[in-house]
Amino acid sequence: MTVTELKHELVRQRVPNNLYSLLAGGLSNEVFCLVYEKGVWEVYYSERGKKRGAKAFASESDACAYLLRKLDVAKTERRRGNT
């Protein structure tokens, strides 16, 4: 899966776009982020200007699949009112 394919899937699944940031860089606030820096794909949760739970990936596909799983959980929790 590429970032472009991930974006299409997130739209298809109606994942709120205020839950994630794709390739934007920096530390967005209170969102899951996917970035590509220095040859490494990274997924993390940005909270109060800090990276939380950062995980690095060698491949774009693995990073996208991981973020999709994280967002599925976050979307479900939001619907239940847990966030």
Give 22-50 pLDDT, tens digit per residue: 998 777 788 999 999 999 999 999 988 88
What percent of the chain has pLDDT above 90?
A: 70
pLDDT > 70? residue 18: yes
CA dihedral 59, 65, 70, 72 (to 10 degrees): 160
pLDDT-derived band at 73, boundaries 50, 70, 90: confident
User: What's the rounded Cα separation, in Å, for the pair 11 and 41?
Assistant: 21
Answering whether pTM is above 0.95, one says no
pLDDT of residue 28: 73
SS3 per residue for the chain: CCHHHHHHHHHHCCCCHHHEEECCCCCCCCEEEEEEECCEEEEEEEECCEEEEEEEECCHHHHHHHHHHHHHHHHHHHHHCCC
pLDDT of residue 48: 86
